[in-house]
Amino acid sequence: MEDSDTRLMEMVAAQAHHREGGSLEEDEDSIALDEKLSDEQKRQRLQKSLNMAASNGDVVRIRKLVTGKAKDYVDVNMLDDEGTVPLIYASCFVRSINEVLGNAY
């Protein structure tokens, strides 16, 4: 139960930060192009960014992650630590999945 409470508090804090105009993560393109990061480090950071964007209903960020330079490092079907895929988060927090994915998948 404690882990669930911690996860919920992290999500609420991230959503509040996002609504205030803060960046949840550094720019996705910068991460994808960073030669100092291994592919695995890029995958971890960008996948976490996708999960957060989906759980925040951030359509612009989701679209950028799945269609931009980061697209080779993210997977809309990859389970997070809670066993949920970004697509499920997006379906809960975004009005229309078509709005997010368009023709990307």
**Model pTM score:** 0.68
CB burial of residue 22 (10 Å; 0-12, 13-18, 19+): exposed
Q: Identify the domain containing residue 29 by its residue range.
A: 2-101
Residue 92 belongs to domain with CATH number: 1.25.40
Is residue 96 scored above 90 in pLDDT? no
> 73 and 64 in contact (C-beta within 8 Å)?
no
Alpha-carbon dihedral sign for residues 97, 52, 89, 71: positive
Number of domains in the chain: 1
Q: What is the mean pLDDT of residues 18-37?
A: 74
Instruction: Give residue-wise pLDDT tens across range 29-51.
Output: 999 999 999 999 999 999 999 98
Exposure letters 36-67 (e unless 16+ CB within 10 A, then b): ebeeeebbebbbebbbbbbbbbbbebbbbbbe
